[in-house]
Amino acid sequence: MIEATGLTKHYGRTVAVDNLSFTVGEGRVTGFLGPNGAGKSTTMRMILGLDSPTSGDVRIDGQHYRDLHQPLRTVGALLDAKWVHPNRSARAHLRWLAAATKLPRSRIDQVLDLVGLGAVANKNAGGFSLGMSQRLGIAAALLGDPRVLLFDEPVNGLDPEGILWIRKFMHQLADEGRTVFVSSHLLSEMAQTAQDLVVIGRGKLIYQGTVDEFIANATESTVLVRSPTLEKLGEHLLAAGAGISDDGDALRVSGMDSAAIGELAATRQIVLHELSPQVGSLEQAFIHLTGDTVEYRTEEPALGTTEEGPTA
Amino acid sequence: MTLLAVERIKLFTTRSPWWCTLIALVLTIGFGALMAGTSEENIAPLTIAATQFGYTFGLVVVMVMAALAITTEYRFSTIRATFLAVPNRPTALIAKATVVAVLAAIVGEIAAFGSWGIARLMKPNVDLAINTAYEWRAVAGVGLVYGISAVVAVAVGVLLRHSAGAIAVLLIWNQLVEPLVQLIPKVGDDIHKWLPFNVANKLITGNPDPSTRDVLQGPPPSDAVLGPWPALAAFAGFAVVLFGIALVVANRRDA
C-alpha cells in the first residue's frame, strides 16, 4: 500500500505537487492520471525517495522508501526505460541490481525469460528499441519479486502488441495480490488497465476512486430525441424538469433518461422518431475534469482572421 | 562487501575503465622507455626518478577514468537506479570511490614498476636497484597518489555530475592552475607549496638522496614544505574532505 499525505514539492517558485493525499491499495491496478506536466513523475520520484518532498509525507507499507532494507525486494519501479548504460549488456545491468539486493543469479535469467529478452540478454542495452528497453525496465522492476510496483507511462511509444502485453502483465501482477501503481496521461489506456484512479492536475488531487465511478460522474449522459412535434415535446420536458438544448432538427435532453422520456412522450401521445442515449467519451470526461488544470494549453486558432489568408 | 561487488560489476561491464587503464599504462611505461632510451651516462644518466617521468600523464588518465565512472552514471541516470537499489546514498558512493581508488592504485603500481622494469630491461648496465626509502617512494608511491587522486576525481564528478565539466576542472586544476600559480608575484610560490597535487608529488619526488638523484633528472621535485609522508597524509585529508562535501551534497540533492 502506498500512502501519500499532504505531499508537496516546490522547484524554486514553481509548485510541481501541491498538498497531494491519496492511497493506493493492494491487489489492484491503480491508474495515476493527469495531463502532461501535472506532477505525476515528481510524485513517483518522491514515493521512491529520489526527490525529497518540500513538505508532506509518503510511505510504502508504512515505511519511507529510504528506510527500506534492500528496497528492490519490496518495491519495483520503472520510471524511465532509458536508465541504463548503453554499453552495458542487459544481463550485466540486471547483474549489478541483483548483487545490490543479494539475489541469486538464476533470478536474472528468470526475469529475462519472463519479459522475453532471454535471446538478447548479452546485447548492449544501448541498441535496444524502446519496446525492448521497456521490457528490460520491467525485468529490473520485477527482479526482487516486490509487493509494490510503480510504472511511469509504461506504454508510451509502444506498438499495439507491446501495449497489450503490458496491460495483461499488470493485471497479472495485481491478481497476484501486488500493489500496482501506473501513471499515464491517456485516460482511454487507464480505463482498460486500471481499476482505481488517482487523478491529478497541476499537482492537485482531482479525483480518487474507481474507474467506473469516475467515468459515470464525469461524463454527463444526454439523450437525443427526434419528433415531428419537437416544440411540444420540449415544453413537456422542461415542465418535467429536464434540461434541453436545440441540436438542429433534434433535441438533446439532459437530466432524464431515455425510459422516462419515452414514457412522458407516450402519456402525452407524442410521436417519437428517435430516442437514443448519448454516452460521453472518456476524453471528454477527462478534459471536463482537468480542463482548468492543463499547464500548457493551446489557444484555439481563430480561423479566417489571419492576415496571411489565401490571396488567390 | 555487497556494495563493493555492485560497483565492481558496474565498473568492469563498460569499456571506458579498460581503455583508460590501457592508455595510462602505455603512456607511463612509454615515457619510462623513452627516458631509458634517451639517457646518456654523463649528460643525462638514467635514475629511478627518471624512469617515473611519465607518472603525471598516467595520473591525468586515471582521474579521467575515475570521473567518468561517476559522471556516466549521472548522464545515463543509472545513479537513480543505484539509489533505488541502495537508498543510503553515502554508502553507495563510498563503495564506488573505494572500487575506483583500488583500481587506480593497482594501475599506478603496474605503471610505476612497469616503467622501472622496462628501463632495467633496456639499460641492464645501469644500477636501477631499489635500495633507499626515497627510491621506494619514487616507484611504489605512484599507486598511492593515483588511488587518492581517484577519490578526488570521483568527488568532483559527484559535485558537477557532467563528464566534460568534471574532466575539465580536474585537468585545468592539475595541469594548469597548480603550475601557473607559481607565476603570481610574491605569494605564488607560497601558495603553490600547499596545493594538493604538488603536495602529493612530494611523496614521489621529495627528499631525494643526494647520491641517487640529480635534481635535474626525473620529474621536478615538489617544493611542498611537508615531509613526504605527512604530505601524502595531507593529500589524503584533502581528498576525504572534498569527498565528504560531495556526499553531503549528493545526499541532500534530488537525484
Of B9, B15, B77, the CB nearest to A83: B77
Identify the pLDDT of residue A63.
94
Query: Could A100 and B87 be called an inter-chain contact, meaning their C-beta atoms sit closer than 8 Å?
Result: no
B199-211 pLDDT tens trace: 999 999 888 776 5
Higher pLDDT, A193 or B140: B140
Q: In this predicted model, what pLDDT tens digit does every residue of A216-258 receive, in sequence order?
A: 776 667 888 998 888 888 888 888 888 888 877 888 888 888 8
Q: Taking CB atoms and an 8 Å limit, are B254 and A72 in contact across chains?
A: no
Answer yes or no: is pLDDT of A54 > 90.
yes
Give the predicted TM-score (pTM) of the model: 0.85
- Closest by CA position to A70, among listed B79, B3, B73, B12: B3
Mutation for testing the A interface, residue in B4, B7, B10, B20 having most A CBs under 10 Å:
B10
3-state secondary structure at position A302: coil
Count CB-CB contacts under 10 A for residue A247.
Answer: 14
Q: Of A251, A221, A256, whose CA–CA distance to A234 is shortest?
A: A251
Q: Is A12 exposed, middle or buried (0-12, 13-18, 19+ CB in 10 A)?
A: exposed
Q: Which residues in B lie closer than 8 A to residue A80 (C-beta atoms)?
A: 77
| Chain A interface includes B175 (CB < 8 A) | no
For A6, left (φ over 0), alpha (ψ -120 to 50), or beta? left
Rounded to two decimals, the ipTM of the complex is 0.88
- pLDDT at position B215: 52
Determine, for residues B14 and A85 on separate chains, whether the beta-carbon distance falls below 8 Å: yes
Chain A partners within 8 Å of B73 (Cβ): 85
Q: Is residue A207 less than 8 Å (CB to CB) from chain B?
A: no
CB atoms within 10 A of CB A124: 19
- At residue A48, does pLDDT exceed 90? yes
Contact yes or no for B80 and A99 at CB 8 A: no
Distances (CA, A) of B32 to A8, A165, A265, B26: 60, 60, 104, 10
Q: How far apart are CA A106 and CA A132, in angstroms?
A: 21
CA distance B27 to chain A (A): 25
Residue A208, helix vs strand vs coil: strand
CA distance B225 to B206: 10
CA dihedral of residues B129, B135, B138, B143 (deg, nearest 10): 70
Q: Touching check for B14 and chain A: CB below 8 Å?
A: yes
Averaged pLDDT, A202-212: 89
CB pairs under 8 A between A and B: 76
Give the span between the Cα atoms of A36 and A58, in whole angstroms: 22
| Residues 125-154 (A) with a CB less than 8 A from some CB of B | 140
| A83/B78 CB distance under 8 A | yes
Asked whether the beta carbons of B196 and B177 are under 8 A apart, the reply is: no
Q: Are strands A75-78 and A55-60 parallel, antiparallel or unpaired?
A: unpaired
Query: What domains can you pick out in chain A, each with its CATH number?
Result: 2-217 (3.40.50.300), 221-279 (3.30.70)
CB nearest A50 (choices: B72, B76, B254): B254
Q: Which site among B1, B7, B9, B79 would you substitute to test the A interface, given the most A Cβ atoms closer than 10 Å to its Cβ? A: B9
Taking only residues 53 to 112 of chain B, the set having a beta carbon closer than 8 angstroms to any beta carbon of chain A reads: 72-73, 76-78, 80-88
| Structure confidence by residue, pLDDT tens digits, A287-310 | 766 666 555 555 555 454 444 444
Residue A222 DSSP SS3? strand
Asked if the model's pLDDT at residue A97 lies above 60, the reply is: yes
Which residues of chain B carry a pLDDT beneath 70? 210-219
How far does B5 lie from chain A, in Å, by closest CA?
7
CA B132 and chain centroid, separation: 23
Tell me the C-alpha distance between A152 and A43, whole Å.
10
